[in-house]
């Protein structure tokens, strides 16, 4: 089965700038994958087309990265934003390819080969593996020539990027000044005006509902959805159907006995009274006496846990109790090892002396060695036997399923009948998928909404959901994106109206309080008049976790405070709450207190920021000077 090759990502739409720098091979040069034809176009850049198929490939890759990073399916809003972000990246990619060509940048074959050999997903045990390389390209659906061409384009773009950003430098003086700002502290008073203060008192009429519904036409839409029929070929399910005969299973076990035989290992719990290497005879005798008392207590019925509870608070003895997993011979102290491997299951040793001290051991379990019997390995042997029998059948059925689904593209019935598999049906799902099940898998979702399956109503290709788990699907029903009926979203609209009006009321009160503060009214009078509670935070830094992030960000962008004065400001939270604040003090550390490593790290960060900013400005200038036409309606 194919191994899954996943690109890792550490960003999101909000950090699109950094994505330009940290997602290699995702978009640059991808326009060279496709050629000619009259395929739908999503954009033209200086007369060169970006085709829909190209966009779909990039979007699928980017979407899978985002879902893997976030650990969830994307919402409809995130899907739309991601589509625009993908299109933007493809436009930038096309522009960079054009600039690279005009500059005559060159990358040698040897440089390309070295770059590919350094890619971790193509390595095995730290070395380049041609097998991993071929499997990876197969998973990506690319030939070596196309992939190497993409790498060459990407390296040329990196070369261009270096030319643009390498001139950015920062001095030690700038780094100290930046360090002062980073470590600046501020004193603030702030009060939150909760949006919930107003919600319950807001009355919503039928006219309000109608007006809001008509004013926000694009808000209340249900996403495009499909319902699919599918055939699922699972090796595990085939294995469950295998008939197991005892004599055949025993024969299989004997033929593969080496796979089940393992070195004997024993699991123990040990009590140790540790002694030092230079312990006196008196100290040794004392430790031995404690161990004897414990052994007597165990023999009288006390458990190891009972003993541990007694010694837990006793700091005068070097007592310890340890539960070990399965250990082979030779790991424990020789004296303990000898005793452990002569004990019966569940038994407790006598007191054993070693150079570490005095031990008492209980044998919990044994595996391997004398336990290497058919009876003890039957469950695993049966599982392996079933999988072996199922495997050859699985690959035969996989080939048959792929051929039949292709030869009879308008129905799954023939494929199901010939393979003996069942046609199943999904519930409705949209492009963000479901929380769990088959329709939560991005590859299944992408197949369902592909042009051939959704547009042409053909069977999909075989989709490898996971190793040993294949699916072929076709669309049964399609529901296009449509505005939800008013009755269906009435409760949501009422909630949205209340939230909007309550948010506006919170903002209005916040602005009123700011005006009163600026006119000289004190905190106590405002608190009493408007029923707000002031919080005081002195000496806070930019990364302080005790203060709301929006409040903190606003407090540090409010400017400098004159001696004895204050700056008043406010900010609306994502929750709709409004925060009013007074910045009453700004404290800067001494620039000369920042030296050495601190200054150098800050200088590097400044240069990195400037480099990223220069690159973004370069791209924006390219776009401003280019002839670009976007056909966003094609993306729907």
Q: What is the pLDDT of residue 38?
A: 53
Among 338-347, 365-374, 406-415, the minimum mean pLDDT is found in: 365-374
pTM of the model: 0.49
Query: Is 13-168+617-635's fold the same as 262-371's?
Result: no
| Nearest-angstrom CA–CA distance, 467 and 398 | 12
pLDDT of residue 157: 66
CA distances (Å), 547 to each of 534, 538, 578, in order? 13, 11, 14
Whole-number pLDDT of residue 454? 93
pLDDT (tens digit per residue) in 376-405: 778 788 888 888 888 888 989 999 999 999
User: For residues 472 and 415, is the Cβ–Cβ distance under 8 A?
Assistant: yes
Tell me if 370 sits within 8 A of 274, measured CB to CB.
Answer: no
Instruction: Return the domain boundaries, the chain.
Output: 13-168+617-635, 184-217+486-588, 225-234+390-480, 262-371
Which pLDDT belongs to residue 413?
95
Q: How confident is the model at residue 107 (pLDDT cuts 50, 70, 90)?
A: confident
Return the pLDDT at 507: 96
Q: In what order do the strands lie in the sheet with 41-45?
A: 48-51, 41-45, 628-630
Q: Which helix H or strand E contains 222, and what residues bound it?
A: strand 221-222
**What superfamily would CATH give domain 13-168+617-635?**
Porin chaperone SurA, peptide-binding domain (1.10.4030.10)
Query: What is the DSSP track for 513-530?
Result: HHHHHHTT--HHHHHHHH
Question: Is the CATH number 3.10.50.40 carried by domain 262-371?
Answer: yes
User: Regarding predicted confidence, which is higher, 66 or 223?
Assistant: 223
Note the pLDDT of residue 113: 82
Could you tell me which residue, 61 or 451, shows the higher pLDDT? 451
Confidence check: pLDDT of 32 > 70: no
User: What pLDDT, in 10s, does the model give residues 164-190?
Assistant: 555 555 666 666 767 777 788 899 999
**Structure tokens that stand for 564 in this block:** 């004895």
- 112-161: per-residue pLDDT in tens? 788 888 888 788 777 888 777 777 776 665 667 767 767 776 776 666 66
Q: Quick check: 373 pLDDT over 50?
A: yes
Per-residue confidence at 5, pLDDT binned at 50, 70, 90? very low
**What is the tens place of the pLDDT at every residue in 609-629?**
666 677 777 788 888 888 998
How far is it, in rounded angstroms, from Cα 151 to Cα 113?
9
CA-to-CA distance for 616 and 618, rounded, in angstroms?
5
Name the average pLDDT for the chain.
82
pLDDT surpasses 50 at 448: yes
Q: What's the rounded Cα separation, in Å, for the pair 91 and 631?
A: 12
In what side-by-side order are the strands of the sheet with 319-327? 319-327, 265-274, 357-367, 352-354
| 3-class secondary structure per residue, 158-188 | HHHHHHHHCCCCCCHHHHHHHHHHHCCEEEE
Q: Which of 122-131, 430-439, 457-466 has the lowest mean pLDDT?
A: 122-131
Predicted confidence (pLDDT) at residue 458 exceeds the cutoff of 90: yes
* Rounded distance between C-alpha atoms, residue 500 and residue 143, angstroms: 54
Rounded to whole angstroms, how far apart are CA atoms 139 and 314?
A: 61
Q: Which two tokens stand for residue 33?
A: 């994958």
The contacts of residue 1 (CB under 8 Å, 6+ apart) are 464, 467, 468
pLDDT of 33 > 80? The answer is: no
Q: What is the DSSP letter of 321?
A: E
Q: What is the pLDDT of residues 529-580, one digit of tens each?
A: 999 999 999 999 988 888 888 899 998 888 888 887 899 999 998 889 999 9
Query: Mean per-residue pLDDT for 54-83?
Result: 76
| pLDDT over 70 at 297, yes or no | yes
| 183 CB-near residues (< 8 Å, 6+ apart) | 541, 589, 594
DSSP string, 96-133: HHHHHHHHT----HHHHHHHHHT-GGGEETTEE-HHHH
pLDDT at res. 169: 55
Are 82 and 13 in contact by the 8 Å Cβ rule? The answer is: yes
């Amino acid at each position: 089965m194919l191994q899954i090759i996943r690109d890792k990502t550490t960003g999101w739409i909000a950090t699109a700038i950094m994505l330009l720098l940290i997602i290699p091979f995702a978009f640059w040069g991808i326009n060279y994958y496709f050629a000619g034809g009259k395929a739908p176009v999503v954009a033209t850049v200086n007369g060169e087309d970006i085709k829909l198929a190209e966009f779909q490939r990039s979007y699928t890759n980017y979407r899978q990265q985002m879902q893997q990073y976030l650990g969830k399916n994307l919402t409809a809003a995130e899907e739309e934003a991601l589509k625009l972000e993908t299109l933007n990246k493809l436009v930038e990619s096309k522009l960079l390819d054009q600039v690279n060509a005009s500059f005559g940048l060159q990358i040698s074959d040897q440089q390309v080969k070295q770059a590919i050999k350094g890619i971790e997903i193509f390595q095995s045990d730290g070395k380049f593996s041609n097998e991993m390389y071929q499997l990876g390209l197969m998973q990506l659906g690319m030939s070596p020539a196309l992939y190497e061409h993409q790498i060459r384009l990407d390296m040329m773009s990196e070369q261009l990027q270096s030319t643009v950003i390498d001139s950015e430098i920062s001095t030690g003086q700038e780094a100290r000044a930046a360090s002062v700002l980073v470590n600046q502290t501020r004193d603030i008073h702030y009060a939150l005006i909760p949006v919930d203060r107003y919600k319950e008192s807001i009355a919503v009429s039928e006219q309000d509902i109608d007006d809001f519904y008509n004013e926000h036409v694009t808000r209340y839409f249900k996403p495009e959805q499909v319902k699919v029929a599918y055939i699922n070929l699972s090796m595990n399910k085939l294995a469950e159907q295998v008939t197991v005969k005892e004599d055949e299973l025993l024969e299989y076990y004997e033929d593969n006995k080496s796979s089940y035989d393992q070195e004997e290992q024993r699991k123990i719990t040990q009590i140790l009274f540790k002694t030092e290497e230079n312990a006196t005879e008196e100290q040794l005798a004392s430790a031995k006496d404690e161990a004897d008392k414990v052994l007597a207590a165990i023999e009288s019925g006390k458990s190891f846990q009972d003993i541990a509870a007694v010694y837990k608070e006793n700091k005068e003895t070097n007592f310890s109790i340890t539960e070990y997993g399965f250990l082979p011979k030779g790991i424990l102290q020789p004296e303990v090892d000898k005793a452990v491997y002569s004990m019966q299951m569940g038994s407790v040793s006598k007191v054993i002396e070693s150079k570490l001290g005095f031990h008492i051991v209980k044998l919990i379990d044994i595996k391997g060695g004398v336990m290497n019997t058919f009876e003890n390995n039957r469950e695993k042997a049966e599982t392996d036997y079933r999988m072996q029998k199922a495997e050859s059948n699985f690959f035969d059925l996989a080939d048959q399923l792929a051929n039949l689904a292709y030869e009879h593209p308008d129905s799954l019935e023939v494929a199901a009948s010939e393979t003996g598999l069942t046609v199943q049906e999904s519930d409705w799902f949209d492009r963000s998928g479901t929380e769990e099940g088959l329709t939560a898998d991005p590859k299944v979702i992408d197949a369902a909404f592909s042009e051939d399956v959704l547009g042409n109503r053909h069977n999909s290709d075989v989709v490898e959901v996971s190793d040993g788990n294949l699916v072929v699907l076709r669309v049964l029903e399609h529901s296009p994106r449509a505005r939800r009926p008013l009755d269906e979203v009435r409760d949501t609209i009422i909630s949205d109206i209340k939230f909007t009006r309550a948010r506006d009321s919170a903002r209005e009160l916040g602005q009123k309080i700011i005006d009163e503060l600026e006119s000289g009214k004190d905190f106590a009078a405002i608190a009493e008049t408007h029923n707000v509670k002031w919080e005081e935070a002195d000496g806070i830094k930019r990364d302080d976790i005790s203060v709301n992030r929006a409040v903190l960000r606003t407090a540090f962008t409010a400017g400098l405070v004159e001696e004895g004065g204050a700056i008043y400001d406010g900010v609306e939270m994502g929750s709709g709450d409004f925060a009013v604040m007074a910045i009453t003090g700004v404290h800067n550390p001494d620039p000369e207190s920042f030296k050495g490593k601190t200054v150098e790290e800050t200088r590097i960060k400044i240069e990195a920021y400037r480099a990223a900013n220069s690159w973004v400005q370069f791209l924006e200038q390219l776009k401003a000077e280019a002839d670009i036409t976007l056909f966003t309606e094609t993306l729907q």
